Amino acid sequence: MRGEKMRITKIESFKQAVTLHHPFKIAFATIDELQTIIVKVTTDTGWVGYGEASPFEPVTGESIETEMVMLTTFAEQLVGMDPRLIEQIHSALDATTVGHTAAKAGIDIACYDILGQAAGLPLYQLLGGNSNQIVSDFTIGIDDPAAMAEEAQARVAAGFTELKVKVGGDDQQDLAAVRAIRAAVGPTVDIRIDANQAWTPKQAKRMMRAFGDDVSAVEQPLPAAQTHQLPLVRELVDQPVMVDESVHDAHDAFHVLATGGADIVNIKLQKASGLWGASQINAVAEAAGIPVMLGCMVETRIGITAAVHFVAAHRNAQYADLDAFMDFAEPEWLSGGFTQEGGVYTLTDAPGLGIQCDL
Ligand SMILES: [Mg+2]
């Protein structure tokens, strides 16, 4: 009802383990078992919203332990506030602490879930309403080239038309892997690579020339600390340069794009404090004429669904890398949000996130 008061009565955080089907290797880490945090916000009007906090310590310095502590602090602070007043909620969170973007994302997503339910609208309509469908790539982790090609072929057979390939280990092996994948999937599948901060500018030039037309974009070629050298990399390589670890929030995006450092920005809700921060980054990027991608950490269907809504909502969100939930057995307490046919995800019209969660 219009003008009806709504107050947060409880914020609970549930630590959940997810076991990956296969260990996942990127340039700076190998991952096999992980934890994530499901955030549940309850109101005095009976609405319940779900969010997810999935920290990745090498990128944000946040861990499950630190975010559980912050979520307890945030919970005490936010009880009594209206979850639909998203900017007010973020002002309270940011006044308490800088960083802790994963915990903030967990709260943010749950509040948007409630906002959507209270408005009777799916989030993709509330956030922008460009579409109800997205196309996601599938990410191939570093392995031996034959195994990577086999996995790529299986995913393309399952309907994926875009692949993201992790590189940044051994140069020769990276080249062999991309060649093997291209040979296995044929000429029409789009292949982007992610070097996860592993290269120097000269190495980026050498590698991207060697990849040539097999690769359509390179993600995060340089360490985040070398972000000032990205304009040089853009001069040296023909393919578009995407930033991930270099851009966490709208301030980072402004600095990188004002200096001509990137062609595409990879937004992650867990870096950006949720959908609110993602909207700000997307606005900065769109104003600079730069499209965005939505990526993910190791998130369940809750965090992924939030990002799918964001991509569907916005014309400028032209790419999606929202595949993490396929890397592990989906928990029996969670379903809904979207249906999937290969890389095409279609959102339901249920209000809010549209997920069902039994926690
Ligand atoms: Mg990345």
Domain end call among 120, 135, 168: 120
Question: Which pLDDT score, from 0 to 100, does residue 23 have?
Answer: 77
Whether residue 158 is contained in a domain is answered as yes
Q: What is the pLDDT of residues 80-98, one digit of tens each?
A: 999 999 999 999 999 999 9
Task: Confirm or deny that 244 is annotated as ligand binding.
Answer: yes
Please tell me whether residues 211 and 105 are part of one structural domain.
no
**266-298 CB burial, b ≥16 within 10 A, e <16:** bbbbbbbbbbbbbbbbbebbbeeebbbbbbbbb
Task: Confirm or deny that 219 is annotated as ligand binding.
Answer: yes
Please tell me whether residues 205 and 303 are part of one structural domain.
yes
Whether 273 contacts 249, CB under 8 Å = yes
Please tell me whether residues 198 and 49 are part of one structural domain.
no
Please tell me whether residues 160 and 113 are part of one structural domain.
no
- Stretch 326-337: mean pLDDT: 92
Whether residue 69 is contained in a domain is answered as yes
Q: Residue 305 has which token pair?
A: 């669904």
pTM of the shown model: 0.96
State the virtual CA torsion across 57, 60, 64, 69 in degrees, nearest 10: 140
- Stretch 92-112: mean pLDDT: 97
Find the 1 Cα to ligand 1 centroid distance in Å: 42
End-to-end alpha carbon distance in the chain: 27
Q: What is the pLDDT of residues 149-171, one digit of tens each?
A: 999 999 999 999 999 999 999 99
What's the domain count of the chain? 2
Find the 359 Cα to ligand 1 centroid distance in Å: 30
Domain end call among 120, 148, 166: 120
Active site residues: 166, 268
Share of the chain above pLDDT 70, in %: 99
- Stretch 41-46: mean pLDDT: 96
CA angle 115–35–198, rounded 5-degree value: 100
Query: Residue 80's domain spans which residues?
Result: 8-120
Residue 107 predicted with pLDDT over 60? yes
pLDDT band at 21, cuts 50/70/90?
confident
Domain end call among 65, 93, 120: 120
Please tell me whether residues 116 and 151 are part of one structural domain.
no
Residue 3 predicted with pLDDT over 70? no
Find the 247 Cα to ligand 1 centroid distance in Å: 11
Give the type of residue at 26: I
CA nearest to 149, candidates 125, 128, 127, 173: 173
Which residues, chain by chain, have CB under 5 Å from ion ligand 1?
Answer: 194, 244
Please tell me whether residues 237 and 139 are part of one structural domain.
yes
Residue 229 predicted with pLDDT over 90? yes
Residue 272 predicted with pLDDT over 90? yes
| CATH classification at residue 191 | 3.20.20.120
CA nearest to 158, candidates 146, 147, 150, 166: 150
Helix/strand/coil for 250: helix
Q: What is the pLDDT of residues 202-223, one digit of tens each?
A: 999 999 999 999 999 999 999 9
Whether residue 240 is contained in a domain is answered as yes
Whole-number CA gyration radius for the chain:
20
